[in-house]
Structure 1
Amino acid sequence: MTRHITRILGSTALAALIALPAFAQSAPPLATLPPPPVPADNPMTPEKVALGEKLYWDGRLSGNGSMPCSACHLPDLGWGTGGAISFGYPGTQHWRNSQTILNSAYYNKPFWDGSVTSLESQAKGAAGGAVAGNGDGSMMEMRLRFVPEYVAAFREVFGTEWPIISHAWAAIAAYERTIVTDATKVPFDRYLAGDADAMSGAAKRGMDIYNGKAGCISCHNGALASDQKFYNLGVPAAEEFGIDPLYQITLRWELYQKGVPEDVYRKGDDDLGLYHVTKRPSDKHKFRTPSLRELRWTEPYMHNGALWSLADVVEFYNAGGGEGQTAGLQPLGLDDGEKADLVAFLEAMSMDEPMLAEPPELPETATWSEFLK
């Protein structure tokens, strides 16, 4: 057993692990991702995935036809926006970083604040969110019903006479469950599979630091490299909140419409995260631990995109997190070489090349006369 652990962690990391707190020692080890979980009420079929792919790119699932899922989750931008804060619906501005949908199939709570519990509910929430898709469910459903190709596809996939909007979210979720890491293209996964040369020397040293001195494994563990729990790391507020009034308007609206007490609303100058869901003061500024897979292609980082490089992320943790953090972070004492090695390992957890996809050809809406035929 010790030989097995040493092979995975490295001898240096194994020695350091012994000195870590018990919760770090008991953390699940990093591993290769299994096939993504599929809910029993939304089984995968090739036809459903193909339908979901088209709907993912289709602006008809938004308020004004310009904000499909792909607007904020573009393949050539790491399946995000590439910017710190996500786009807002025209005339508004979002308040959080647009998470990559790469490997989102493995999250039990896809949103940063844990407010939804499935990809199906995530798709619905994003398409209907006032500062995201801003779409009305009944209007979006009627748009689909005027597309003959969609009518036929929904009938084939779901057995309904007409498209039903909840089935659209199910199809999009099925498609998103195919946007996952290919382990054969990831140096770290090839290393776990027995290819000793799959990772560089720097990445191997970085793995020892990750599992040992830096203690990253405490929260970024398991196959997803995330414990899926919520922490306040003291991430500084997004600079945009203090520069552009539209960001502040969105932030204040978010506080108000989620029912925070007046004293919290009046003093609010930052995203409150999990608090919006639980209303517990101790949950202010807590956000779900993100996966560390595919970081090479999905910058910037943190819930508000405050850190633009992996070197910035490592430096943030090396300093013990930010002001007001309640996660129990402590300065790590990493020197420049160790920080560089840790970055090399984080990059080795990404595929050799980014996962890309071309937009599908979308079907035409029928005219009223064609619809009556």
Structure 2
Amino acid sequence: MTWTTAYLAALGDPDGTPSFMPQPRSFSAQTVRQAVRLRRGGGALRLVLSNEFGHTPLVIDEVTAADGMPVLCQGGARWEIPPGRTATSDPVPLTTAAGDEFVISCFVSGDAEPAAYLHSAQRTGEVLHSAERTGEVLPGAERFTSLYWITRVLTDAPAAGPVVVALGDSITRGDGTSADRDQRYADHLQRRLLAAGLEGAAVLNAGIGGNRLLGPLFGPTMTERFARDVLGVPEATHVLIMGGLNDLAMGSPADDITGALFALARRAQRHGVQPILGTVTPMMGSVYEMFRADGNEEARRAVNQAITGQRDWHVADFAAALADPDDPTRLAAAFDSGDGVHPGDAGARALAETVDLDLFK
């Protein structure tokens, strides 16, 4: 049987979290309950958990899905994942549809480190004491908006329609959009594709906040993780590449950024995946000084001119979609989440509407 991807999370390295950011947490004698939104359904699912960046084995005593259904690994309830590895569950006989929420509860009786996570997942998870592991969520449950360990959900349904991987940084991940409302640009693009009659379409979000093309931040670079998050989805038909913003903030030259973007596009093409390059969005209204540093706007324009000027690959002009008409170095107020860099819900919708749906037909 061939399993296809119903959900993807591009997890990063907890040790790569900058000191000025909220730090990832560990768990001990607790249940970690998290939910993900499935892009396609089927008659059975398999869960993939990651200890990719862990230093010790990740031991989870019990994993359950909808209404306490056990999620077994190699026939047993206990999962033990070595450092640097992932583990895939046995098939779970659960009928689902595209758009369903899939809730996963992981009970750890001992200590469990973050191992692999998204620092901002735009979805609320809950931590319960061990005695609560089979009960309903209590009002006093501790809540968080990161995502731990869950990297994929697979379905037995065959791939049908375009499968688009959205590769990027925090804008792709959805920072600035409303939590628990599926307002990321990949969510909006998913809805557009289905509304256009592209049945079976799946837009998989492979964004990591703070991610770069040319240097590590929150884990491996887009270049380093391309094999895992794009080529590692065998049914992928397209990749939307949106990168370079954080490289500009770190002072990387425009030529190096465009070189890295074009190298990813060529790599995708060699593997039969159609690349779509996104322009770098405005940032001069940012509340963060590093984005407004001298020379950054000139470098951003140079990157975007190289992207829009080439004729080898299709382009999504994200910069034009979000720019203030009176000052295109800044985000339009209607699209700004408030920090001058990340689009809010309306801005994420505008990004999705910029993508030409004819590319997927």
Larger-gyration structure (1/2) = 1
Question: TM-score w.r.t. structure 1 length?
Answer: 0.25
Structure 1 or 2: more strand by fraction: 2
TM-score (norm 2): 0.26
* Greater per-residue helix proportion: 1
